[in-house]
Structure 1
Amino acid sequence: MTAPPSSPPDRGTTPRPAEHGLNLADGLAAGTAARVLAMRLMMLGVLGVSAHLSDGVLHAGSHWFILGGYAVSSLWLALTARRRNSGRLAWIATLLDAALAAYIVLEYMMAASEAADEPGALASRLPAFLLLLESGLTLRPRQTAVFAALVAGVWSGALGLGLLNPGLGLPPAGPHVFGLLSFLVASAFVIEGAFRLRRGVATMLRLEHERATLARFVPAGIDLVRRDGATALQPRHACLLALDIRGFSALTRAWGEARVVDWLLAVRALAHAAVTERGGLVDKYVGDGVLAQFVAGAPAEQAAAALACVREIEVRMHRMNEARRREGLPPLALTASLHAGEVLVGVLDDGLRAEFTVLGPAMNALARVEARAKRENLSAALSKRVMRLLGPAAPPAHRLPRRPGEEDCPDLFGLEPGATPRASSA
């Protein structure tokens, strides 16, 4: 048997897989504004210390003005990140970062034409490389590429002007060409890594979304079989439970379909709560019926959990019927059928639709047990296999005589409602 189609996720709480790709960068950037601000201020502090130690007189007042303006703009971005469009702010931050990196490189090339030093050259390249890494970690490859193109464009343009017009007083191109090539190679690695990491994170989020959605319907440990996968379903033992409302058709004719739908939903909720509390799994709802499996633990533990679930349902139905009588509504009666055996349990995904599936002769036998229990108008019926699994904990039960045409039905025992356990002769 197969599970019903999955209900659509709540639009307000559960993101769809497509949304993960669209909002991946925004999600990663959420809550990181303070961290990014701290990193930028630290970088600016290093630049200030480097400028002072190397030769502060090389830097005009505009240098400190630019650094101060960048610090203020970084603070503004951090403060407004929660109130404004994150995509637009990301582009503003990218352009500001590129402007600072390009300015520091160009300003050092102009100022150090006659007094170049290695520490100053390294400090001038620091923003370009650090901000390149920061841009790559946002998993926005397009913005990282724009940042790299702007910085490399200004850098290479200054070198080109120096070669074409030596009178500009630019320093020798050799060391700066090496720095530019290093930056271009680093940019290529960072951009390619951002693309790869983005795909990996998006795939991880999609799989996690599928797992979380699947967890609403099936427990952990259930095999997932895809059309293009090599995983095969493995036989496992399960105790199977079928619940039906007796006389549901007559109730529908007497009270109307719209009225009895609420009753059906109440019974489903009651059964679902009892099954899950006992470690079982609600497989599907068929009309007025509920199909559940108990697949955790040893076979005897499965049978004990299934029987405890049936008894819990009886108690809850008794309370529900007391409330219904006070409201002038007819009581509802259930038939619970239990059988056990080897089945194939898993989620089959053909690429178009994934369904929880239980296959095997035990499922077919459960249908015959259920039909016979309904004909006998029983409140609870157990197959001989379940009675044997219960052992000394089996409840009092009477064996049903086999009728013509029921040769393929397992031996069946009828239970008295609310009977206390005792040894069984099964």
Structure 2
Amino acid sequence: MTSSLSADWDFEREIRSILLRFVAFTILLVNLLLGGDEGAEGTHLAVVICYLVISIASVASARFLPGRSWLKTLFVILDALLVALLLYAHILGGPVTENHNVTTTSLVVAFILLNHVGLKLDRRLVLVFSCIVLVAWIGMLAVTAARHHTADVVSFVASFFNQDLGLTVSYGFTAFAIYLLAKDHDRTRKEALLADRRRLNLSRFFSPFVVADLQEGSSALELERRNAVIMFVDLRDFTSFAETAPARELATVLAQYRHLVSGTIFAHRGTVDKFIGDGVMAVFGQPTPMEDDADRALECALDLVDALNDWKHQSLVDGNPALNAGIGLHYGTVVGGVLDSGCHSEFTVIGDAVNVAQRLEALTKALNSPLVISSALVNQLRKPVPPALWVAQKEVALPGRRLPIDIWYLAHESGRIVPSEETYDTGGLQTALQRSSFQSPPPVAVGIG
């Protein structure tokens, strides 16, 4: 995902530059009509005409050849040469015996075009323009001093350091100030673009609320040990489907599935840790733990059961493959934050809780259940669980783990269907003692107490 901030910024700056060009042209034309540049009328007229042509060419290049930085540099060089031409008309264009003071009109032109380049907010262009004008201006003053005073070095220096040189130095200070402003703007722009790219990258994995928290402070990105809820979501028999499905159909199914899962997770303020093929790993409580992490995670899992069921049935109607999904949910201690791997840094969580959640998800297939949760998660709930066809099992062994755990799972794929007293079904896996400690009133609904 790429940032749109840079393109919008460049487009707005280009439009502003085009408008300012024609404002500058209007000022140049008014100065020509008002007069005040005796002996340089022809040169001033040529400057106005050339500037109009350059402005039209600049607009055309922005329209038909966008993004060509060398063209922008070329137009700035041409603008600087126009200023140098106008300075030449006033400083060196007349006879040696005449007064060669720079007129107000020529100064206005020089500062107008300097401001125009400065408003591009590109320090490179400011440097190119100001250097050409200053070198030409100082060189012309040196030639003028040499023309009038050739007797000795002292006379030359006295003639060179006059009022005109003071104007040149003032122009140089103005150009330097504009350069510093453009430099600060470049730095601010780069920081803003970096922040925007960072925000877009974070938004792929975090809800908008979490992204805002991460942008306000980066302490949550540091690796540290914290409690969190880990969720694994996986499609069953997806590998078999992927082996025979056309690439386009495979991409469509996977995109729909990921969009559905990640959207539901974000809606409950969870974090998508990673996508692994058809698997999704999510975290609640990372990077910022909250008191209701367990409640939101379970609510999210139940919503996903319903949403994935609806998606499966709609896929059948549309003639697409109907794939079941399994969800595993566990609460435990993890180490979370940015894991630096040299060329690639990853924001993730690691720990035994991750392995348990993944194995609970794998257990959904054996139990023919869409959702399996651990007792550790149940113990962290702060409010009653929405009633559903829950079944409890104690001391369930998980592959690769020495100690068994207690689990609860949905007995049917129907998700949150609330059973009546007559239709309540434990699947033959729940003992009377387990049921008495597991159920909570009202008797028509099964919940976790």
Same fold (TM over 0.5): yes
The 1:237/1:151 distance shift into structure 2, 3 A limit, reads same
2: CA distance between counterparts of 1:343 and 1:32? 52
Q: Matches of residues 21-420 of structure 1 in structure 2 within 5 Å?
A: 29-44=13-28, 47-48=31-32, 52=35, 55=36, 58-73=38-53, 75-77=55-57, 79-80=59-60, 81-84=62-65, 86-109=68-91, 121-166=103-148, 173=160, 174-191=162-179, 193-195=181-183, 197-220=185-208, 221=210, 232-235=222-225, 237-246=227-236, 252=240, 257-259=243-245, 265=254, 267-295=257-285, 301-322=292-313, 332-388=323-379, 389=381, 391-396=383-388, 397-403=390-396, 408-416=403-411, 417-420=414-417
Deviations 1:149-168 (A, max 9, x none): 33223322322222222299
Structure 1 SS opposite 2:15: coil
In 2, the alpha carbon distance for the partners of 1:325 and 1:137 equals: 59
Distance 1:362 1:150 in 2: 66
Decide whether the 8 Å contact of 1:241 with 1:291 is kept in 2: yes
Distance 1:368 1:136, change over 3 A: same
User: Structure 1 pair 376/166, CA: closer, same or farther in 2 (3 Å)?
Assistant: same
Paired position in structure 2 for 1:3 = none
2: CA distance between counterparts of 1:76 and 1:338? Answer: 64
Query: Structure 1 CA distance, aligned partners of 2:277 and 2:48?
Result: 71
Take 1:25 and 1:330, find their aligned partners in 2: how far apart are those partners? 44
Q: Who is 1:6 aligned against?
A: none
Task: Tell me, in whole angstroms, the C-alpha distance in 2 between the residues paired with 1:360 and 1:289.
Answer: 18
Distance 1:350 1:277 in 2: 30
Q: Distance in 2 between matches of 1:175 and 1:290?
A: 74
- Once residues 197 and 327 of structure 1 are traced to their aligned partners in structure 2, the CA distance between those partners, rounded to angstroms, is 53
Judging changes above 3 Å, is the alpha-carbon distance between structure 1 residues 138 and 321 closer, same or farther for their aligned structure 2 residues? closer
- In the alignment, residue 353 of structure 2 is paired with which amino acid? A
Deviations 1:272-325 (A, max 9, x none): 343334443332233543322234898564334333333333334434444566
Contact (CA 8 Å) 1:343, 1:363: kept in 2 or not?
A: yes
Give 1:4's aligned residue.
none
Task: Please state how far the C-alpha of 1:256 moved relative to its aligned partner.
Answer: 7.2
- Give the number of aligned pairs: 396
The one-letter amino acid of 2:395's match is R
CA pair 259-391 structure 1, distance change in 2 beyond 3 A: same
Give TM-score scaled by structure 1 length.
0.73
Distance change >3 Å, CA 188–CA 322, structure 1 → 2: closer
Question: What displacement does 1:400 show?
Answer: 0.2
CA contact (8 A) 2:87 2:137 kept: yes
| CA 375–32 in structure 1, closer or farther in 2 if over 3 Å, else same | same
Give 1:111 shift.
6.5
Going from structure 1 to structure 2, the CA distance change for 1:139 and 1:403 (only over 3 Å counts) comes to: closer
Unaligned runs of 5+ in 1: 1-8
Measured at CA, do residues 404 and 121 of structure 1 come closer, stay the same or move farther in structure 2, by a change above 3 Å?
closer
Deviates most, 346-355 or 263-272: 263-272
Separation in structure 1 between the aligned mates of residue 234 and residue 187 of structure 2, nearest angstrom: 48
Q: How far apart are residue 361 of structure 1 and its match? A: 4.3
- For residue 403 of structure 1, report the CA deviation from its aligned partner: 4.8
Output the aligned Cα RMSD: 4.4
Take 2:397 and 2:185, find their aligned partners in 1: how far apart are those partners?
67
- For the structure 1 residues 402 and 390, does the alpha-carbon distance in structure 2 shift closer, same or farther, using more than 3 Å as the test? same
Once the two structures are superposed, residues 239-272 of structure 1 have per-residue CA deviations (whole angstroms, 9 ceiling, x without a partner) of 32222344666xx2xx672239857725444433
Q: 1:246 to 1:95 in 2, by over 3 A?
A: closer
Maintained 8 Å contact 1:105/1:124: yes
Say if 1:71 and 1:398 are closer, same or farther in 2 by CA, change over 3 A.
Answer: same
Task: Give the SS at the match of 1:401.
Answer: strand
Q: Which amino acid aligns with 1:412?
A: I
Point out where structure 2 has 5 or more consecutive residues left out of the alignment: 151-157, 419-444
Of the two structures, which has the highest relative contact order with CA contacts closer than 8 Å and spacing of 6 or more?
1
Q: Distance in 1 between matches of 2:316 and 2:56?
A: 66
The change in CA–CA distance for 1:377 and 1:24 in structure 2 (over 3 A counts) is closer
Cα distance between partner residues in 1 of 2:71 and 2:246: 55
Instruction: Return the offset for 1:413.
Output: 1.3
